[in-house]
Amino acid sequence: MKKRTVIGLLIAALVVSAIAVRFFRRPESSGPSPDEMVKVLLEYDQNGDGQLRTDEVPERMQGIFARGDANQDGTLTRDELRKLAEADSEAVRRKERGERR
Ligand SMILES: [Ca+2]
Ligand SMILES: [Ca+2]
């Protein structure tokens, strides 16, 4: 077998196994991790202070303030976001456990 062919086959095998791993590996939970959720939520942080104000978040997401703004000052700090995200991922896990057949 020519060297080039061997390398080509190796690369092909690597690609296939990378796809297989992605496809077959089932994450512990289908939802994002609390860290990821905090990161996603902080994309709405328009002034970059690491906190979310009600006017930085779209209308449809205002509910997160009702649930996450522990001291009700109209601002979600990183801590408050983190607690919100943790509560959400715990709820997802519980739901998955409950609904698994
Ligand atoms: Ca902000
Ligand atoms: Ca707050």
Rounded to the nearest angstrom, the distance between the alpha carbon of 56 and the centre of ligand 1 is 7
Residues 26, 36: Cα–Cα separation, whole Å: 17
Q: Which ligand is nearest to the CA of 54?
A: 1
The pTM of the full predicted model, rounded to 2 decimals, is 0.65
Homologous superfamily (CATH) of 30-99 is EF-hand (1.10.238.10)
Q: CA distances (Å), 66 to each of 14, 73, 81, in order?
A: 48, 11, 12
pLDDT tens for 19-30 read 676 666 655 556
Mean pLDDT over all residues of the chain? 87
Position 59 scores a pLDDT of 96
Q: Which ligand is nearest to the CA of 51?
A: 1
- Tell which wins on pLDDT, 89 or 81: 81
- For residue 75, the cross-strand partners are 53
Model confidence band, residue 42 (pLDDT cutoffs 50, 70, 90): very high
Rounded to the nearest angstrom, the distance between the alpha carbon of 25 and the centre of ligand 2 is 38
Model confidence band, residue 78 (pLDDT cutoffs 50, 70, 90): very high
- Tell which wins on pLDDT, 32 or 61: 61
Q: Which ligand is nearest to the CA of 83?
A: 2
Residue 52 has pLDDT above 60, yes or no: yes
Token couple for 100: 């698994």
